[in-house]
Amino acid sequence: MENQKILHLTNNLNSQSKIPAVFIDKDGTLIEDVPYNVDPQLMRLTTGAIEGLQLLSKAGYKLIIITNQSGVARGYFPESSLVAVEARLSEVLAEGNLLLDGFYYCPHHPNGVVSEYAIDCDCRKPKPGLILRAVVEHNIDLQNSWLIGDSLSDVEAGKLAGCKTILIAHDHKPNLQMSHLQIPHHIASTLSRAAQIILYDEHNFQI
């Protein structure tokens, strides 16, 4: 019901002023995956991340992070720790002349030990709640937007929201039991390659 309300609001926005976005998973896509890490000093960008985001930014896409942070619900770190994480990401991207347009996280997990966060929410991927919230708050052109992530839950969230998707493959092998919502539009090895795919697909310029 909540997601339907968000979609209704989205449809009422002025389409002429909408801007496309690329929604980016954090751990394993934008930065190297260090499980449940909130220490800014341990954050390392993945190969090709800056180059890929620069291509997308120059092409006019907003750059928005969408990330599950169940460590909050599990009691591994307080929600306030994510402030420093966002600040560090903004700082690192600024070094590449990039602006982080949004940082959206879900602190919940239904099996969490912190009661405030131990809920079955609408924002934890593969549910599309965070994406839809960002669409409203940033007036995003969803049909021309993309989600890049390294898990099938990322792909499913992007498809449920209504944007195109790219799976960062790493060492993943095709899973014959995947649902149609988990089959990405494209597969790429790095964020840089994903950006090239997006630009080629949208005919912004030829690779």
Distance CA 64, CA 138 (A): 10
Please report, for residues 20, 148, 161, the alpha-carbon distance to residue 11 in angstroms, rounded to integers and kept in the order given. Answer: 15, 23, 13
The token pair at 127 is: 């549910």
Among 27, 141, 150, 154, the one annotated catalytic = 27
Determine whether 201 is an active site residue.
no
The token pair at 179 is: 């649902």
Its sign, for the CA torsion 64, 168, 86, 117, is: positive
Tell me which residue of 22, 38, 62 sits closest to 168, measured CA to CA.
22
Determine whether 27 is an active site residue.
yes
Distance CA 158, CA 132 (A): 10
E runs forming strands in the chain? 21-24, 62-68, 102-106, 146-149, 164-168, 186-188
The token pair at 160 is: 């449920």
Among 25, 141, 150, 154, the one annotated catalytic = 25
CB 133 within 8 A of CB 6: yes
Tell me which residue of 106, 93, 21 sits closest to 63, measured CA to CA.
21
Active-site positions read: 25, 27
